[in-house]
Structure 1
Amino acid sequence: MSDETPNDAGSSTVVDKSKRKNLLLGLGGAVVVIGGLWFLYAEFIGSRTVSTDNAYVAGENAQVTPLTSGRVVEVLVTDTQPVRKGQLLFRIEDSDQKIAVQQAEANLAMMQRRYGQSIANNAALGAAAGASDAQINTARAGLASAQATLTKTQEDYKRRAALSGTGAVSNEELTTARQALDSAKASYQQAQAAVAQAQENARSARRQEEAAVALTKGTTLQTAPEILQAQAQLEQAKLDLERTIVRAPIDGVVSRRSIQVGQRIQSGQAAMTVVPVGELYVDANFKEDQLGKVRSGQKATLTSDFYGGKVEYHGKVVGFSGGTGAAFSLIPAQNATGNWIKVVQRLPVRIQLDPKELKEHPLRIGLSMEAEIDLTDND
């Protein structure tokens, strides 16, 4: 029996080595099969999509800022309250604005009266210029009369001067004729001066008329510049009055309300924010090595941590950020020293959501999302 024991042990050792070889071959075959299946999945299934859980809901918030200053007298909404576009949010005391409207209305009425006065002045100056023209004619008639008188006295003087040597005309009569001639010459010169003065008066009157008419030429009561300016001031005053009532610029939910009744608010001061929950989108931060085949217009499927995987959202890629998150950080990374570790960067990809699905399952800005983009969709 002692001779058989070694043979049996050797036989058992040979069997064990055979099993081990088969086991190794089986294990190697399994690894090859698993590797092949992984290759097939990565090549034909995994390469069809890219996904990330680094995605968040975002939206274009509407900041409500009044365009006029004053004391808040009524606030009709509060945080978390849904509002519709045009809905009244709050009112500002409008006493000052009403006074400004009244002043603008009075100023417009005054400008209209002044324009009417200018038109009347133009007519009066035109009449004065016409009267000046008539004075020229009168002065010319006086000049003609003085010319005739001068001619007659000259002839009388010449006739008497010719007879003075014969004794037919006395010295006294000749002296009287000479005085009459001198008087006629003076009257003639005075008449000439009167004509010149009348002409100058007429020119001055015409210039005054032209200067006055230039202010209203080509205008009417509706188109005069001063009236248009007064109307603009009135429209501005009315607009400021309307702006004391602040309405929602878009549909959404009120957030970050910062005003209270009695508070004095300045023009441009932020009063609250309206979040357009029906027009939200998702910024998905994909790794840079995932974006080689991503294009605008590709379809995307998204789920939210808020609802879980039971609710799916559908959207499409609408654009890419102009830089990575690190590039726009407060202190961008500087890797020029040569002492650095490469970190895979992420680029925000904007995905537009379906408004109908948003209406059925509303989201809020900042919620986490998971996004998957279909790379086979190239429409």
Structure 2
Amino acid sequence: MNQTTNTEEHPTKHISNQSRKRRRLLAMLAVLVVIILIGIFGYYQLYGRFYESTDDAYVQGNLNSISPQISGTVTQVFVEDGDYVKKGQTLVTLDQSDTRIALQSAEANLASVVRQTRGLYSDIANYQAQVQTKKIDYKQALADYERRQKLAKKGAVSVEEVNHYRDTMNAAKNALISTEQTLESKIALIDGVTVEHHPAIRSAIAKLQSAYLNHLHTTIKAPIDGYVAKRSVQVGEQVSPTDNLLVIVPLHQVWINANFKESQLKEMRIGQPVDITTDLYGDNVHYQGHVASLGIGTGSAFALLPAQNASGNWIKIVQRLPVRIAIDSNQSLANYPLRIGLSCYITVHLVDNHGPRLSVQHTDKPRFSTDIYDHPLNMAHKLVAKILSANGLDPKQTFNSNMDLSSHE
């Protein structure tokens, strides 16, 4: 009888023990969940709310397309994709036959115009002397005619002789008028301007400078330092200013476009520090940067065909705004160069949120510039000065007074 009772009580105790264990496990799980939630809340309050991150970020940079400034036939190509080029380095050359002939013609034209213009100024004195001579001739002819008229009234000379002196007087008068008109036309060509600043000489100088620059433009040079990409030009190809020959990418001027959700931008400001990692180098390489600007519009707003939401089946989609990240760690870029289009992971530090949301400053200085096109014009001035000197003009009087021609001699 006792054995039967023990057998019946044992399952009940077993079920009770299992129930207590289950309650303990559930209690422990609940405590663990609470601890996790507290940890998440604490992490957000102490750390997470001061940072915003995204992996929708890509390296961007300036893509400088190189095109010829004149039409011509390619004779030499000096670079290939991936080559590093320095500012002023020759990239491509075009056939110079036509531009050389045009330059020689412009040189001869300038010399001829200078001589012709100097002749205009010399003609003024000549025609002024001729006018004085014609005036004397006219006065003499007029005096002779008037004297013959008086003699004719006394019957001392014939009417025929009077008519002859009258014709001589009219011829002298017409010759004087013609010479005076010629003098006036000559003066009109030079009135109010010195020979050095005569429009004809200025026009010839401009044509020579244009021909000289076109001749120099047969050599296409790199405007900046960078790496060659997308080379499409080939030897023997006929190119024009609308053709893109290649692209130069200055990898020291790259930045990052990070696309943040609109809900992440509430505390984001210009100037906030940014930590950057890339898929290329992994978490072992960090770049430091800062928020350079917040996008003016979403990508869809500037799309070729913007989304039209005025429809019955509209579905809200969280938009992303591009944020431009400037890279501050130049040394890291030198050791670990970035390429255009690489994927990045961006973390923006939001602790200091006193900066502006939009740029409030403007600049009058160019952000990017090159000076490789300045020197050719100076060399053109040197050639012009040489031709002017050879044809009797002072180059310093012809050019602007603030131009130092001595540096080009």
Query: Aligned residue for 1:60?
Result: 62
Query: Aligned residue for 1:251?
Result: 225
- Residues 77-92 of structure 1: matches in 2 within 5 Å? 77-92=79-94
Aligned-residue identity in percent: 37
Deviation, structure 1 residue 68:
1.3
Amino acid in the other structure paired with 1:365: I
Query: Aligned residue for 1:370?
Result: 345
Query: Aligned residue for 1:336?
Result: 310
Deviates more, 1:204-213 or 1:59-68: 204-213
Structure 1 or 2, whichever has the larger Rg, is 1
Per the normalisation by structure 1, the TM-score is 0.83
* Secondary structure, counterpart of 2:183 in structure 1: helix
- Give, in whole Å, the separation in 1 of the partners of 2:19 and 2:282: 53
* Secondary structure, counterpart of 2:195 in structure 1: coil
> How many equivalent pairs are there?
351
- Give, in whole Å, the separation in 2 of the partners of 1:137 and 1:290: 101
Higher relative contact order (CA 8 A, sep 6+): 1
* Secondary structure, counterpart of 2:197 in structure 1: coil
8 Å CA contact 2:121–2:195 kept in 1: the answer is no
Query: Aligned residue for 1:211?
Result: 185
Among 205, 222, 246, the residue aligned to 1:231? 205
- Give, in whole Å, the separation in 2 of the partners of 1:19 and 1:268: 82
- Give, in whole Å, the separation in 1 of the partners of 2:261 and 2:42: 23
- Give, in whole Å, the separation in 1 of the partners of 2:250 and 2:206: 35
- Give, in whole Å, the separation in 2 of the partners of 1:329 and 1:216: 60
Amino acid in the other structure paired with 2:342: L
- Give, in whole Å, the separation in 1 of the partners of 2:12 and 2:133: 153
Aligned pair in 2 of structure 1 residues 59, 144: CA closer, same or farther (>3 Å)? same
Amino acid in the other structure paired with 2:309: N
8 Å CA contact 2:227–2:248 kept in 1: the answer is yes
* Secondary structure, counterpart of 1:222 in structure 2: helix
Say whether 1:74 aligns with 2:76: yes
Say whether 1:101 aligns with 2:103: yes
Among 47, 50, 58, the residue aligned to 1:48? 50
- Give, in whole Å, the separation in 1 of the partners of 2:190 and 2:18: 121
- Give, in whole Å, the separation in 2 of the partners of 1:365 and 1:214: 63
- Give, in whole Å, the separation in 1 of the partners of 2:223 and 2:331: 21
Among 263, 266, 269, the residue aligned to 1:292? 266
- Residues 15-34 of structure 1: matches in 2 within 5 Å? 24-34=26-36
Say whether 1:357 aligns with 2:326: no
- Give, in whole Å, the separation in 2 of the partners of 1:238 and 1:208: 37
Among 208, 220, 233, the residue aligned to 2:194? 220
Deviation, structure 1 residue 218:
2.8
Deviations 1:217-247 (A, max 9, x none): 2333321111111111111111011111111
Deviates more, 1:252-261 or 1:188-197: 188-197
- Give, in whole Å, the separation in 1 of the partners of 2:105 and 2:75: 24
Say whether 1:263 aligns with 2:237: yes
Deviation, structure 1 residue 127:
1.8
Deviation, structure 1 residue 187:
7.1
Amino acid in the other structure paired with 1:105: E
- Give, in whole Å, the separation in 2 of the partners of 1:268 and 1:244: 15
Query: Aligned residue for 1:124?
Result: 126
Deviations 1:255-280 (A, max 9, x none): 11111222222223111001111110
Query: Aligned residue for 2:280?
Result: 306
Deviation, structure 1 residue 349:
0.7
Query: Aligned residue for 1:165?
Result: none
- Give, in whole Å, the separation in 2 of the partners of 1:279 and 1:55: 17
Among 35, 38, 48, the residue aligned to 1:36? 38
Deviation, structure 1 residue 110:
1.5
- Give, in whole Å, the separation in 1 of the partners of 2:74 and 2:15: 97
Structure 1 residue runs without a partner (length 5+):
154-178
Say whether 1:281 aligns with 2:283: no
Query: Aligned residue for 1:159?
Result: none
Structure 2 residue runs without a partner (length 5+):
356-409
- Residues 115-194 of structure 1: matches in 2 within 5 Å? 115-142=117-144, 145-146=147-148, 149=151, 153=154, 179-180=155-156, 183=157
- Give, in whole Å, the separation in 1 of the partners of 2:24 and 2:285: 49
Deviations 1:176-222 (A, max 9, x none): xxx44xx5888778877866765554344222211111101233332
Deviates more, 1:240-249 or 1:347-356: 347-356
- Give, in whole Å, the separation in 2 of the partners of 1:58 and 1:74: 31
Amino acid in the other structure paired with 1:67: Q
* Secondary structure, counterpart of 2:276 in structure 1: strand
- How large is the RMSD of aligned CA atoms in angstroms? 2.8
- Give, in whole Å, the separation in 2 of the partners of 1:308 and 1:25: 41
* Secondary structure, counterpart of 2:196 in structure 1: coil
Amino acid in the other structure paired with 1:368: S
Amino acid in the other structure paired with 1:340: W
Deviation, structure 1 residue 62:
0.6
- Give, in whole Å, the separation in 2 of the partners of 1:343 and 1:81: 43
* Secondary structure, counterpart of 2:323 in structure 1: strand
- Give, in whole Å, the separation in 2 of the partners of 1:266 and 1:10: 97
- Give, in whole Å, the separation in 1 of the partners of 2:33 and 2:109: 94
Deviation, structure 1 residue 282:
0.5
- Give, in whole Å, the separation in 2 of the partners of 1:336 and 1:211: 74
Amino acid in the other structure paired with 1:32: V
- Give, in whole Å, the separation in 1 of the partners of 2:5 and 2:235: 110
